[in-house]
Amino acid sequence: MHRLVLALSLLMTSAQAQMDFTNWLAEFSQEARARGISQATLDQALRDIQIAPRVVELDRKQPEFVESFAIYLERRVTPQRIARGQALLAEHQALFDEVEKHYGVPRQILAAFWGLETNYGSVMGDTPIPAALATLAFDGRRSAFFRSQLLDALLLIEAGHVTADEMKGSWAGAMGQMQFMPSTYRRYAVDGDNNGQINLWSSLPDAMYSAANYLQQAGWKAGEPIALHVNLPANFAWGQARLYNRRPLAEWQVAGVVQANGQALPVQAGHAAIILPQGAQGPAFMVFDNFDVVMQWNRSVNYALSVALLADQLMGGSPLPLSGGAPTMTRSQLMRLQQQLTDLGFDAGGADGLPGLKTQAAIRRYQAVHALTADGYPTPALAQHVRESHTNAAFRNELKRDEPSPRFADPVP
């Protein structure tokens, strides 16, 4: 009986949600028509679509385990991906010559984005984009953003670049060989093959010209690297390893920083920073302004480094030697660490379980106060140190927020 009641309740909830979604679509369609989108395009893209539960599930799902840099790199910069990229660079040499000459973006950089985004066009996603964007706009978590993306997707259909049936991609709305969002598509996409249409799925010239155009407009500096693997001196001040601590290369040279391959640092490059994606126990990288350009594409340090390292190996560079590095933490453990740091007066920028720049800065300040290696990297050992400090501060009533004393029955992550 209880199962029957539950099933009926779920059906009623689902039916109500679909009814609300249908009403939302009717209201949205009025706005779209006011933006110049024809009824024919609206019928083609939105008629009879339903909420996509899988899209909502993926949007709300947060993986419990956060990949370390070593694991992230190992899964993406693979021998197979390198070999395939080298073959494609040779196969499409004329195209890459043209794009590189026109935009100043090296071919290996474009190929690295291509490989990481869609495995060279083999995995572009099969989710209907209008339905996915409508679902995300209706669902509410980032409704304004996805509503604007849906409008841009409809404008692309209206312009005749792609049909609604052809417009497929990732669950979050990214499309084509290089996984452009609709707004990026409309602003930066280029008709590389000069056929009067811009199709980022089937036209490789369109995809490559568009990616290079995006990077150029984002500030790409020709002749400057993204990142270099470096060795640090034994007396290096770990607190100086911060993404936005940009200094002239001459200062890093005086400090004893050298390229890991023994080559001299590039004299033509501008200011650079040192970053430690796995803390003091892992590799060190010198990053330049082009690193920031890549970060505009994807706000992930691991992603930006993967672009640089894949590009280097596509041109015959040696693989990065990765030997362990500090252990990683789960997302829930990171959330607890962030909250405890904030309670202790080291603002981590919220407890979201992501080791962003504010969290790294909070860790670095904590490490400096406690005479630890100030690399800003979260590890189980650091979490244990913070947890003990938090417990002691709680018993002394020194926390920055009201916090009940810990119970011995509380699980320790």
Both tokens of 409, joined, read 């029955």
Q: What angle do CA 88, 91, 97 make, to 5 degrees?
A: 95
Are residues 318 and 283 in contact, defined by beta-carbon separation less than 8 angstroms? no
SS3 for 169?
strand
Rounded-to-integer distance, Cα 113 and Cα 94, Å? 19
SS3 for 274?
strand
Residue 325 pLDDT: 56
For the chain, 413 residues long, the average pLDDT of each consecutive 10-residue run is 40 68 93 95 93 88 80 94 98 98 98 98 97 91 93 96 95 97 97 95 98 98 95 93 93 93 82 94 94 95 97 95 72 95 96 90 96 94 96 92 43 36
Q: Which residues pair with 228 in a beta bridge?
A: 286
The DSSP annotation for 89-150 comes to HHHTHHHHHHHHHHH---HHHHHHHHHHHHTTTT----EEHHHHHHHHHHHSTTHHHHHHHH
- Enumerate residues 6+ apart whose C-beta is below 8 A from 356: 349
Does the pTM surpass 0.85? The reply is yes
Residue 186 pLDDT: 96
- Enumerate residues 6+ apart whose C-beta is below 8 A from 52: 127, 131, 132, 135, 171
> What sign for the dihedral angle of Cα 130, 134, 135, 141?
positive
Residue 407 pLDDT: 37
**Integer CA distances (angstroms), 190 to 131, 157, 169, 173, 208, in order:** 25, 16, 19, 19, 9
| H or E element in which residue 18 lies | helix 2-34
Strands (E), 165-238: 168-169, 227-231
| φ, ψ for residue 163, nearest 5 deg | -90, 165
Rounded-to-integer distance, Cα 10 and Cα 16, Å? 10
Amino acid identity of residue 103, one-letter, is Y
Both tokens of 176, joined, read 């084509």
Both tokens of 198, joined, read 């811009």
The maximal CA–CA distance of the chain, rounded, in angstroms, is: 77
Rounded-to-integer distance, Cα 251 and Cα 375, Å? 20
| H or E element in which residue 151 lies | helix 143-158
**How many other CB atoms sit within 10 Å of the CB of residue 158?**
18
Count how many Cα atoms sit within 13 Å of the Cα of residue 27 in the half-sphere of its side chain.
9
User: Which alpha helices (H) appear in 278-379, and where do they start and end?
Assistant: 289-297, 301-314, 331-343, 357-369
Rounded-to-integer distance, Cα 160 and Cα 170, Å? 21
**Integer CA distances (angstroms), 353 to 101, 275, 281, 333, 362, in order:** 43, 20, 22, 7, 14
Work out whether strand 168-169 and strand 127-128 pair parallel, antiparallel, or are unpaired.
antiparallel
SS3 for 324?
coil
